[in-house]
Amino acid sequence: MDYRIEHDSMGEMRVPADRYWGAQTQRSRENFRIGVGIETMPAEIIHAFGILKVAAARANHKLRPEKMTERKLACIEQAGTEVADGKLNGHFPLVVWQTGSGTQSNMNANEVIAARANEIDRESRADDGMPEENGKAPLCHPNDDINMSQSSNDTFPTAMHISAVLALKEQLLPAAEDLIRIFLELEDQSRGIVKSGRTHLQDAVPIAFSQEISGWRSSLQRDCEMIRRTLEPLCELALGGTAVGTGLNAPEGFAQLVAEEISRLTGETFVTAENKFHALTSKDEIVFAHGAVKAMAADMMKIANDVRWLASGPRCGLGEITIPENEPGSSIMPGKVNPTQCEQVTMVAVQVMGNDAAIGFAASQGNFELNVFMPVIAYNFLQSVRLLSQSIRSFAEHCAAGIRPVREKMEENLHRSLMLVTALNPYIGYENAAKVAKLAHREGLTLKESCVQLGFLTPEHFDEVFHPEKMV
Q: Note whether 386 and 302 are same-domain residues.
A: yes
- Residue 138 near residue 144, CB atoms below 8 Å: no
Q: At what angle do helices 70-84 and 103-127 cross, to 10 degrees?
A: 120
Please report which helix (H) or strand (E) contains residue 208, including its range.
Answer: strand 202-208
Q: Note whether 402 and 423 are same-domain residues.
A: no
Q: Note whether 329 and 288 are same-domain residues.
A: yes
- Distance between CA atoms of 389 and 380, rounded to whole angstroms? 14
Q: What is the mean pLDDT of the chain?
A: 96
Please report which helix (H) or strand (E) contains residue 236, including its range.
Answer: strand 236-237
In a domain, 155, yes or no: no
CATH value at residue 60:
1.10.275.10
- Residue 379 near residue 39, CB atoms below 8 Å: yes
Residues 6+ apart with CB under 8 A from 65: none
CATH value at residue 424:
1.10.40.30
pLDDT in tens, 299-354: 999 999 999 999 999 999 999 999 999 999 989 999 999 999 999 999 999 999 99
pLDDT in tens, 30-68: 999 999 888 999 999 999 999 999 999 999 999 999 999
Domain with 68 in it: 3-146
Strand-pairing partners, residue 14, are 5
In a domain, 201, yes or no: no
pTM for this one? 0.94
Q: Note whether 392 and 321 are same-domain residues.
A: yes
Omega before residue 314 within 30° of 0, cis: yes
- Distance between CA atoms of 404 and 285, rounded to whole angstroms? 41
- Residue 385 near residue 171, CB atoms below 8 Å: yes
In a domain, 411, yes or no: no
Q: Note whether 29 and 91 are same-domain residues.
A: yes
Q: What average pLDDT does range 200-212 have in this prediction?
A: 97
Phi, psi of 153 (to 5 degrees): -70, -20
Q: Note whether 178 and 323 are same-domain residues.
A: yes
User: How does DSSP classify residue 172?
Assistant: I
- Active site (catalytic) residues: 200, 330
Residues 6+ apart with CB under 8 A from 44: 163, 166, 167, 382, 386
pLDDT in tens, 254-265: 999 999 999 999
pLDDT confidence of 294, banded at 50, 70, 90?
Answer: very high
In a domain, 157, yes or no: no
Q: Note whether 362 and 428 are same-domain residues.
A: no
Q: Note whether 295 and 371 are same-domain residues.
A: yes
Q: Note whether 126 and 238 are same-domain residues.
A: no
**The pLDDT value given to residue 1:** 83
Q: Note whether 112 and 214 are same-domain residues.
A: no
Please report which helix (H) or strand (E) contains residue 203, including its range.
Answer: strand 202-208
**pLDDT reading at 106 higher than 80:** yes
Q: Note whether 325 and 399 are same-domain residues.
A: yes
Q: Note whether 253 and 373 are same-domain residues.
A: yes
Q: How many structural domains is the chain composed of? A: 3
In a domain, 213, yes or no: yes
Query: What is the biggest distance separating any 2 CA atoms in the chain, rounded to whole angstroms?
Result: 109
